Amino acid sequence: DAKTTQPTSMDCAEGRAANLPCNHSTISGNEYVYWYRQIHSQGPQYIIHGLKNNETNEMASLIITEDRKSSTLILPHATLRDTAVYYCIVRLNTGNQFYFGTGTSLTVIP
């Protein structure tokens, strides 16, 4: 199964872009990359997912490298409410399992 590696913590100034990296060097061709975030005492919340191409929605952008071994989640204008733990997940192509990485604790600073 493809594993993910993320930095333990990051800080970002309010109003600036937050760039959260994820390494998934063993990802296989049919596995999607998902990003979720979790605010304390709540369930994880879906942000975005992608396969090969870069993706953008109302919350964030996802940049996947051409070799698909890493990706970056971009929050274009971070707010204090974006303070959370962000998880990068790779979905196995042999089943339905979702395995969480260690996550990055993002703190947005006023």
Partner 1 sequence: DAMVIQNPRYQVTQFGKPVTLSCSQTLNHNVMYWYQQKSSQAPKLLFHYYDKDFNNEADTPDNFQSRRPNTSFCFLDIRSPGLGDAAMYLCATSTRGYAGRPSFGDGTRLSIL
Closer CB to partner 1, residue 50 or residue 108? Answer: 50
Site for partner 1 in 27-86 (CB under 8 A): 30-32, 34, 36, 41-46, 49, 51
Asked if 9 interacts with partner 1 (CB under 8 A), we say: no
Query: What does DSSP say about strands 9-13 and 104-109: parallel, antiparallel, or unpaired?
Result: parallel
Which CB sits closer to partner 1, 25 or 57?
Answer: 57
CB nearer to partner 1: give 16 or 99: 99
**What does the alpha-carbon distance between residue 103 and residue 110 come to, in Å, rounded to a whole number?**
22
CA 50 to CA 45: how far, in whole Å? Answer: 16
Q: Could you give the C-alpha distances from 19 to 42, 87, 96, 108, in angstroms and in order?
A: 23, 13, 28, 12
Residue 99 is a binding residue for partner 1 (CB under 8 A): yes
At 80, is the secondary structure helix, strand, or coil?
helix
Q: Which residues in this chain contact partner 1 in the complex, by CB under 8 A?
A: 30-32, 34, 36, 41-46, 49, 51, 87, 91, 93, 95-103
